[in-house]
Amino acid sequence: MSARKLYHLTWPGHSLELGSETLIMGVVNVTPDSFSDGGRFLDSDNAVAQGVKLAKEGAAIIDIGGESTRPFSDPVSVDEEVRRVVPVIKNLSRRISIPISIDTTKAPVARQAIEAGASIINDVAALRFDPELATVAVEFDVPVILMHMLGEPRTMQQSPHYDDPVREIREFLEDALKRAQQLGISSDKLIVDPGIGFGKTINHNLLLIKHLSDFQTLDCPILVGASRKSFIRSLLKNEREDDLQPDLPIVETGSWAAAAAAALNGAHIVRVHDVAATAATVKIIDAIVNADNR
């Protein structure tokens, strides 16, 4: 168990207190091919309704993405990504008061998403694919989430290898933080994500969660997104099964366990699909972490 350092994140129109309790980022994939929900929210109205639902269930942030980053996925064009996410963000931002993050690696998408009402950039490439994302972040004065990924989605799960995964991923994120600051992003608007499932084996993912406290040396809020990931499904399936459907109850149970372990080991934010049950899970975890001798 690792006590979390407290952070106060403030930017135009929003503020978040990080550390005293685990915050929840609720996921809405506006894609036809997401591994977790397979097009359920490709329709704009359905996506908005899901975002409202997750906010009511206790999410502190709603994460909207218009391009699948599942293993072996292909990128989509800027125009298509904008077409998917901007109407959702525009309508959702009128109905909820919590911040909306745009899950994208592309500066033009981030710009239009922020103009539509988003206020956080969630970049799975940590500014490596499009450094102009930093220009957008600085212009609009919004926080940026920097995630570790080995390679790109099409190649990241092709025999991923590390000599020391925790050390190497921590060093990657340390370099990413330095690069972001050199590009003009204030250190107090940066969040790191070790990238569970993005170029990692089952054991790599387990080690990252087990040793998450090692990332506290980065002096930055930590986000973990393990919900419904393949390592959970692989651990839970029996020998006769090829895979488990991501939205099965048993996979959700495994996802709650992963969120609990991440919170115990220092995660400030957990990114999940099932907000209501995760909120109950981390409420108990936070009570344990914050218990004293009075």
Contact 84, 66 (CB under 8 A): yes
Between helix 249-264 and helix 202-210 the angle, nearest 10°, is 40
Domains of the chain (ranges, CATH numbers): 7-289 (3.20.20.20)
Alpha helices in the chain (DSSP H): 44-56, 78-93, 107-116, 132-140, 165-182, 202-210, 230-236, 249-264, 275-289
Q: DSSP assignment of 141-204, as one string?
A: T--EEEE--SS-TTTTTSS---SSHHHHHHHHHHHHHHHHHHTT--GGGEEEE--TTSS--HHH
* pLDDT bracket for residue 198 (50, 70, 90): very high
pLDDT in tens, 222-276: 999 999 999 999 999 987 778 898 989 999 999 999 999 999 999 999 999 999 9
Mean pLDDT of the chain: 93
**271 catalytic, yes or no?**
yes
**291 DSSP 8-state letter:** -
Out of 189, 271, 283, 294, pick the active-site residue: 271
For the chain, what's the residue count? 294
pLDDT in tens, 19-75: 999 999 999 999 875 555 556 676 889 999 999 999 999 999 999 999 987 666 678
**233 catalytic, yes or no?**
no
Gap between the Cα atoms of 124 and 113, Å rounded: 16
Write phi, then psi, for 123 (nearest 5 degrees): -110, 110
Q: What is the pTM of this model?
A: 0.94
293: exposed, middle or buried (Cβ count in 10 Å: 0-12, 13-18, 19+)? exposed
Out of 229, 233, 237, 240, pick the active-site residue: 229
Q: What percentage of the chain exceeds 70 in pLDDT?
A: 94
